[in-house]
């Protein structure tokens, strides 16, 4: 049976080589190298053609069990206070849209590098989990580009499992779409893949990137990050721009279950809080990167306007105080900070505002505060 699967994988890889132009270095009998961009074919549930994807070839629960065994890399050791402070600062940087800086090639191409790996990630007092993320953080770093940019994103896979990246909401060339077994062979452990595209007007807005291989496991361990595309000539200005990436986690280890939730990688009380001055105009970009859960985000003390959905401007912005985001959905909301105070911003699905097993804090998960000061 293993030989049959190996042969099937070879046939699949050869077919993909014909379609996508891969060289023999990408075929399954060749060893992957960190600098060679090698990718290997694999199968899930004995089916070829869609290797590693949860929606075909076996159940999501089976994929979770299989990956859970491989994921245990002993990286949940306690962190030092300095390491915890650094991770919390990464969340603050995400809130304030601090972006990854690219290398600029002579022809103007912007080259970003993402390294996928496993690492310990502090959640709350007494709870450190094994995260899978990019560049040692989850969410992965913000990638920010502008219409007209030529972009290359170099992805190194230091995980114990194969992976790909899908550019959610971006109409990239099909070969760059990140669907394993369809548009590319998955990036194996130790492998590298380069995604290339030119930024078009269709891509403007708030988007994100995420793993598309064994999606439920990898996304619920942190393999996603925000992506903002600015128009060639920005026309709208806000005094404060902020970003919250909402994540779902499988903390307790149950099958098909998200029981922990984060804002920019951290649950309350470590989720970053937004400080604004009275009278400032505020735009908050929201991304629901959870693999399974919708979130009903409610802002106390204000009525906001929904100005964009999935990166697309809303012709007639709707006034709301609660906005529901489905998994994979993004939204931009805006308001004028004219009501001073410490205003709670949280999911109104109330079990999303608790940390599983946390006996110290009554609140947790998707809870933060917007502090409006005179």
Q: CB of 191 within 8 A of CB of 40?
A: yes
Q: Is 240-373 assigned to CATH 3.40.50.300?
A: no
Instruction: Name the helix (H) or strand (E) containing 162.
Output: none
pLDDT value at position 359? Answer: 81
What are the Cα distances from residue 95, in Å, to 35, 263, 290, 333, 354? 33, 9, 17, 14, 21
Neighbours of 128 (CB within 10 A): 19
**Tens place of pLDDT for every residue, the chain, 374 residues?**
444 434 444 444 444 444 333 333 333 322 333 333 334 333 333 223 333 334 333 333 334 334 444 445 556 678 999 999 999 999 999 999 999 999 999 999 999 999 999 999 999 998 999 999 999 999 999 999 999 999 999 999 999 999 999 999 999 999 999 999 999 999 999 999 999 999 999 999 999 999 999 999 999 999 999 999 999 998 889 999 999 999 999 988 766 689 999 999 999 999 999 999 999 999 999 999 999 999 999 999 999 999 999 999 999 999 999 999 999 999 999 999 999 999 999 999 999 999 998 888 889 999 999 999 99
pLDDT value at position 22? Answer: 37
* Cα gap 130→118, rounded to integer Å: 7
pLDDT value at position 61? Answer: 37
Q: CB of 158 within 8 A of CB of 115?
A: yes
Q: CB of 227 within 8 A of CB of 167?
A: yes
pLDDT value at position 75? Answer: 63
pLDDT value at position 83? Answer: 97
What are the Cα distances from residue 316, in Å, to 50, 71, 233, 280, 312? 41, 46, 22, 22, 12
Nearest to 267 by CA among 369, 124, 130, 137: 124
All CATH 2.60.40.420 domain ranges of the chain, comma separated, are 81-230, 240-373
pLDDT value at position 201? Answer: 97
Q: Is 81-230 assigned to CATH 3.40.50.10680?
A: no
Contacts of 226 (CB under 8 A, 6+ apart): 94, 139, 142, 143, 206, 207, 208, 209, 243, 245, 285, 287
Using the structure block, give the residue that is written with the tokens 């529901």: 324
Nearest to 314 by CA among 262, 236, 257, 254: 236
Q: Is the pTM of this model over 0.85?
A: no
pLDDT value at position 362? Answer: 87
């Amino acid at each position: 049976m293993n030989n049959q699967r190996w042969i099937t994988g070879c046939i699949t890889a050869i077919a993909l080589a014909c379609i996508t132009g891969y060289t023999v270095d990408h075929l399954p009998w060749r060893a992957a190298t960190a600098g060679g961009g090698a990718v290997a074919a694999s199968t899930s549930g004995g089916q070829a053609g869609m290797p590693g994807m949860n929606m075909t070839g076996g159940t999501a629960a089976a994929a979770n069990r299989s990956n859970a065994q491989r994921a245990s890399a002993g990286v949940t050791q306690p962190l030092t206070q300095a390491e915890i402070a650094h991770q919390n600062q990464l969340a603050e940087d995400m809130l304030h849209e601090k972006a990854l800086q690219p290398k600029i090639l002579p022809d103007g191409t912007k080259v970003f590098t993402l390294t996928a790996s496993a690492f310990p990630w502090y959640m709350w007092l007494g709870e450190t989990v094994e995260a899978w993320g990019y560049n040692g953080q989850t969410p992965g770093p913000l990638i920010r580009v502008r219409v007209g940019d030529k972009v290359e994103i170099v992805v190194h896979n230091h995980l114990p499992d194969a992976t790909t990246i899908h550019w959610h909401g971006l109409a990239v060339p099909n070969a760059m779409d990140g669907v394993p077994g369809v548009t590319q062979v998955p990036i194996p452990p130790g492998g590298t893949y380069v995604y290339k595209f030119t930024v078009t007007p269709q891509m403007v807005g708030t988007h994100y990137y995420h793993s598309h291989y064994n999606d439920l496991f990898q996304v619920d361990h942190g393999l996603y990050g925000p992506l903002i595309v600015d128009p060639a000539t920005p026309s709208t200005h806000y005094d404060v721009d902020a970003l919250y990436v909402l994540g779902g986690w499988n903390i307790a280890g149950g099958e098909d279950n998200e029981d922990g939730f984060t804002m920019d990688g951290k649950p309350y009380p470590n989720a970053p809080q937004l400080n604004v001055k009275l009278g400032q105009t505020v735009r908050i970009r929201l991304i629901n990167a959870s693999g399974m859960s919708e979130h009903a985000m409610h802002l106390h003390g204000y009525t906001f306007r929904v100005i964009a959905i999935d990166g697309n401007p809303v012709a007639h912005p709707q006034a709301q105080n609660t906005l529901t985001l489905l998994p994979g959905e993004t939204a931009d909301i805006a308001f004028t900070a004219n009501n001073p105070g410490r205003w709670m911003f949280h999911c109104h699905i109330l079990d999303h505002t608790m940390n599983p097993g946390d006996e110290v804090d009554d609140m947790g998960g998707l809870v933060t505060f917007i502090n409006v000061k005179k």
